[in-house]
């Protein structure tokens, strides 16, 4: 049985959080909100508890997890040979949506790091995540709290949709504020590499570590791979998704055309796009009489990419719930949070990307 514990992030019930923290410390599985997405937590130094995460998610054992800490003062309990850049980055971005890859201490079980000698570490800023980690007093391994390959959860109901019955407790603290996962920066290579774009922009990281680079900027090279696990089918709704990248004008022409073809072949089509794209698309769909078989879902706007990030995983799940056969998604190219959105949609599309 999964217990749902509702906690108001603006008015923390510390007695309840302490009670939940005991379950975590004793080897239980607790899903909790962070500022990025919901995490599925277990005591990181308890290999049996960590094994339960893999079983609950259906996650391959080759996919390492992020270790969450209450504060930077606990860093040396899980990492060693911490370079000065890590301290500078922690001072600038923790608590927050940045994960640092560092050399791991032997106390961290191999199951957490998928056998790597490095460990991903993050200090989340969400008040519930912080209070829970503080009360637990132990490092907490937590991947996103979805079944493997499904869109990450940004609300407690998404966690329950995927994991009801297989986790002990879900803390319902409402919707997460960023909506896409943390940026992963590998500090064990030179120059430091962003292996997954996320909540913190590379341009902001470069203010602290000027030589940091993204995987896509580097020449093809073994060291320049995305983070392990990121190569697998990921963030995907059930319906196959195609991503359209470009300006509104080009995208809306191409999208309308492809919607018409799909509808003509009898498919129910989901369109996930920024407000401006939906406005440009509406008259084109009406003109071909396709509106009735198309479910449109607004994902933020081209002007407000933070809103698009918040909407992203929720709209992917909502389109699945509407039973569409295919999803056509649009997103503008860009840096910062845009890079994270395009990254997630590209993975969901498994390579079906149309540039207009």
Contacts with ligand TXA by CB under 6 A lie at 34, 36-37, 39, 63-66, 99, 101, 113, 116, 118-120, 122, 142-144, 181-182, 184, 195, 227-230
Which helix (H) or strand (E) covers residue 244, if one does? Answer: strand 241-245
Q: Considering the complex, what minimum distance in angstroms separates the CB of residue 144 from Mg ion?
A: 3
Q: Which does 343 bind (CB under 5 to 8 A by kind): Mg ion, ligand TXA, none?
A: none
Retrieve residue 220's tokens. 């093809």
Retrieve residue 320's tokens. 């699945």
Is the CB of 200 or the CB of 278 nearer to ligand TXA? Answer: 200
How far apart, in Å, are the Cα atoms of 180 and each of 35, 102, 262, 268, 310?
9, 22, 29, 27, 7
Q: Which does 168 bind (CB under 5 to 8 A by kind): ligand TXA, Mg ion, none?
A: none
Q: Considering the complex, what minimum distance in angstroms separates the CB of residue 114 from ligand TXA?
A: 7
Tell me the pairing of strands 98-104 and 30-33: unpaired
Is the CB of 65 or the CB of 337 nearer to ligand TXA? Answer: 65
Is the CB of 53 or the CB of 290 nearer to ligand TXA? Answer: 53
Is the CB of 7 or the CB of 53 nearer to Mg ion? Answer: 53
Q: Considering the complex, what minimum distance in angstroms separates the CB of residue 211 from Mg ion?
A: 28
First CA to last CA distance, the chain: 49
Q: Considering the complex, what minimum distance in angstroms separates the CB of residue 38 from ligand TXA?
A: 7
Residues of the shown chain interacting with Mg ion in the complex, contacts defined by CB under 5 A: 144
Q: Which does 74 bind (CB under 5 to 8 A by kind): ligand TXA, Mg ion, none?
A: none
Residue tagged 């490095």 (tokens): 118
58 secondary structure, DSSP code: T
Is the CB of 133 or the CB of 281 nearer to ligand TXA? Answer: 133
Tell me the pairing of strands 79-80 and 66-68: unpaired
| Contact between residue 172 and residue 187 where contact means Cβ atoms under 8 Å apart | no
Q: Considering the complex, what minimum distance in angstroms separates the CB of residue 270 from ligand TXA?
A: 24
Which helix (H) or strand (E) covers residue 207, if one does? Answer: helix 202-208
Q: Which does 305 bind (CB under 5 to 8 A by kind): Mg ion, ligand TXA, none?
A: none
How many angstroms from the chain centroid is the CA of residue 72? Answer: 22
Q: Which does 332 bind (CB under 5 to 8 A by kind): ligand TXA, Mg ion, none?
A: none
State the Cα–Cα distance between residues 275 and 298, nearest whole angstrom: 6
Q: Considering the complex, what minimum distance in angstroms separates the CB of residue 65 from ligand TXA?
A: 5
| Contact between residue 337 and residue 180 where contact means Cβ atoms under 8 Å apart | yes
Retrieve residue 97's tokens. 């949506």
| Closest C-alpha among 346, 310, 350 to residue 180 | 310
Is the CB of 144 or the CB of 338 nearer to Mg ion? Answer: 144
| Contact between residue 186 and residue 192 where contact means Cβ atoms under 8 Å apart | yes
Is the CB of 9 or the CB of 198 nearer to Mg ion? Answer: 198
Q: Which does 133 bind (CB under 5 to 8 A by kind): Mg ion, ligand TXA, none?
A: none
| Contact between residue 104 and residue 179 where contact means Cβ atoms under 8 Å apart | no
Q: Considering the complex, what minimum distance in angstroms separates the CB of residue 280 from ligand TXA?
A: 33
């Amino acid at each position: 049985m999964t217990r749902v514990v509702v906690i108001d992030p603006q008015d923390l019930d510390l007695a309840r959080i302490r009670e939940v923290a005991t379950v975590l410390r004793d080897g239980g599985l607790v899903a909790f909100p962070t500022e990025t997405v919901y995490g599925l937590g277990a005591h990181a130094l308890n290999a049996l508890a960590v094994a339960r995460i893999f079983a609950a998610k259906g996650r391959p054992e080759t996919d390492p997890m992020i270790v969450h800490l209450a504060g930077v003062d606990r860093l040396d309990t899980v990492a060693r040979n911490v370079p000065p850049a890590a301290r500078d980055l922690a001072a600038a971005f923790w608590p927050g949506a940045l994960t640092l890859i560092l050399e791991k201490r032997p106390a961290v079980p191999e199951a957490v790091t998928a056998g790597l000698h490095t460990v991903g570490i993050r200090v989340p800023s969400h008040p519930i995540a912080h209070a829970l980690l503080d009360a637990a007093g132990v490092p907490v391994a937590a991947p996103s709290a979805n079944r493997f390959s499904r869109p990450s959860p940004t609300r407690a109901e998404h966690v329950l949709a995927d994991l009801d019955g297989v986790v002990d407790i879900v803390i319902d603290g409402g919707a997460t504020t960023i909506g896409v996962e943390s940026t992963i920066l590998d500090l064990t290579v030179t120059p430091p590499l962003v292996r997954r774009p996320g909540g913190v922009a590379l341009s902001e990281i470069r203010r602290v570590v000027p030589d940091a680079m993204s995987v896509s900027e580097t020449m093809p090279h073994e060291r320049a791979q995305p983070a392990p696990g990121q190569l697998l089918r990921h963030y995907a709704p059930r319906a196959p998704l195609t991503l359209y990248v470009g300006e509104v004008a080009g995208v809306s022409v191409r999208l309308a055309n492809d919607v018409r073809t799909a509808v003509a072949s009898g498919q129910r089509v989901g369109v996930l796009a920024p407000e401006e794209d939906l406005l440009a698309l509406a008259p084109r769909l009406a003109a071909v009489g396709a509106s009735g078989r198309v479910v449109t879902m607004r994902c933020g706007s081209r002007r407000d990419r933070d809103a698009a990030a918040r909407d992203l995983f929720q709209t992917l799940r909502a389109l699945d719930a509407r039973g569409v056969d295919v999803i056509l998604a649009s997103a503008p190219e860009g840096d910062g949070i845009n890079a994270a959105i395009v990254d997630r949609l590209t993975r969901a599309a498994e390579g079906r990307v149309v540039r207009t």
